Structure 1
Amino acid sequence: MELSEVEEYMQKAVQATQRNFNTVRTGRASTSLLDRIQVEYYGTPTPLKSIANVSTPDSSTITIQPFDASSLGDIERAIGMSDLGLTPNNDGKLVRLNIPPLTEERRKQLVKMVGKMAEEGKVSIRNIRRDGIDSVRKLEKNSEISEDEASDRQDNIQKLTDNYVKKIDEITKEKEKEILSV
């Protein structure tokens, strides 16, 4: 595994963590809250955004207009069963989600959830580091690179790891600040 590959995988881990953060409620309506919602559509779990038009008419409402009106009940059920903690309102044509202001207790729960997501991102970066270092050790064992070169490569992989873990810490602090600001 080359250093550029290690860096690419670590960038993807940070991007995946950022996408997970986008699905966490911050008190404002955002269509990205529904990114993880899967709707049972004709027996197949389908991403909500591929069977409905999702929009935010104002800062405290999300509207979901299905392309197929018969899927309204399925959409409502999927949102009700999700971990969003929102109650869908169905008016026969579209589903409305009112985003209530967050309580202090709920904000603290969301910060904990963001912390867990951040830790998952850091673990994936550490796994990438382990794989990179293992491949360097294998090259050294097979006498394809010298001991000094192996040591340099391992140092570079560790520097990348530290850098990307720091990036996850930065986006975590940003998200926590966003959640805690009233």
Structure 2
Amino acid sequence: MVTSKEVLDNAKSKMQKTTDALKKDLSSIRAGRANASLLNRVSVNYYGAPTPLNQIAAITIPEARVIMVKPYDKSALDDIEKGILEADIGINPANDGDNIRLVVPQLTEERRAEVSKKVKATGESNKVAIRNVRREAMDAVKKGNKNDDFNDDEAHRLEDQVQKLTDKEIKNVDSIVSDKEDEVMNG
């Protein structure tokens, strides 16, 4: 037997995970200014083990378009540089013997438009995922109504709640995408 609370909680949880994934995806998109999250997917071969960069180095932003990577262990400097190059983030590291500097290049208007398009596409795919969660929830409501877990009134009320939740999450996705587009176009 399925309860209305289970259907709603499940849908809410899945939609939230989709929105969180969107935020993570968009944080790795370069917007023309330094952001430490650009290095989130950089993995360094440290003493034979793949290690996230932020565990073996301090990452700071000393200027608007500069990311400074200061290793805790100077012997790892070359490995860190290699890891950044392999991550293919589109920025060449400059090794000065103590630190690694990454200068984030200004985006051209053409590149800004490309990145903005990518941001929109990512947002759209997340909206599709949210709508798929809605469809699953609506199917669960119909199945519950058919199996007499819910009466018709309760099923109708639950469908309305699922739709309101969907509308809220899609509005949230639009807001996140809009903020990122502003950052890209004005960054």
With the length of structure 2 as denominator, give the TM-score of the two structures: 0.85
| 2:101 counterpart residue number | 96
5+ unaligned residues in a row in structure 2: which ranges? 1-5
Q: Corresponding residue for 1:105?
A: 110
2:152 is matched with which residue? 147
User: Residue 173 in 1 paired to residue 178 in 2?
Assistant: yes
Q: Distance in 2 between matches of 1:107 and 1:68?
A: 37
Match of 1:41 in 2: 46
Q: State yes or no: 1:128 paired with 2:133.
A: yes
Please state if 1:4 is matched with 2:9: yes
Q: SS where residue 101 of structure 1 aligns?
A: coil
* Count of residue pairs brought into register by the alignment: 182
Percent sequence identity is 43
Q: Which amino acid aligns with 2:26?
A: F
User: Could you tell me which amino acid in structure 2 is paired with residue 161 of structure 1?
Assistant: T
> How many Å separate the matches in 2 of 1:122 and 1:44?
37
Per the TM alignment, residue 66 of structure 1 is displaced from its structure 2 partner at its CA by 1.8
Counterpart code for 2:87:
S
User: 1:15 deviation in Å?
Assistant: 2.8
1:27 aligns with 2:32: yes
Q: 3-state DSSP class of the match of 2:14?
A: helix
Q: Distance in 1 between matches of 2:106 and 2:186?
A: 11
TM superposition outliers: structure 1 runs of 4+ over 6 Å: none
Deviations 1:13-57 (A, max 9, x none): 223312322222222111122122233334443322122110011
Separation of aligned partners in 2, 1:34 and 1:60: 14
Q: Which whole-Å CA distance do the structure 1 matches of 2:49 and 2:145 have between them?
A: 48
TM-score, normalization by structure 1 = 0.87
Q: Which deviates further from its counterpart, 84-93 or 130-139?
A: 130-139
Measure, in 1, the Cα distance between the counterparts of 2:31 and 2:123: 16
List gaps (5 residues or longer) in structure 1: none
In structure 2, what is the Cα distance between the partners aligned to 1:65 and 1:73? 12
How many Å separate the matches in 2 of 1:75 and 1:53?
A: 12
Residue 78 of structure 1 aligns with which residue?
83
Partner letter of residue 19 of structure 1? K
